[in-house]
Amino acid sequence: MSRYEDKEAAVRRLLDTPHPPVPGHLAGTAAERGSRLLRRHRAVRRAAWTLFALALLAFVLWASVAQPWEAPAAETTPPFDGL
């Protein structure tokens, strides 16, 4: 027999045995945990989007004040070649 057939036979033997009893409160506990995880994931997602929006707002405000796309003003004046 190949390794695959050995594994298949072992699985079949496990499935042929009687199944252990499942506690009655297991489904309720699993549903509670699932809803708790969903709430946590939603809260994390909302917080991430809020943080992203605040960062974008901060960048837009900084860009409107600093105007980094304009050339900086000259630090010194050019030499005077007049009179």
Range of weakest confidence among 19-23, 44-48, 57-61, 63-67: 19-23
Q: What is the pLDDT of residue 1?
A: 63
Domain ranges of the chain: 28-65
CB 25 within 8 A of CB 33: no
- pTM (two decimals): 0.59
Examine the pLDDT at 55 and tell me if it is beyond 80. yes
Retrieve residue 76's tokens.
């010194």
The mean predicted confidence, pLDDT, of the chain is 90
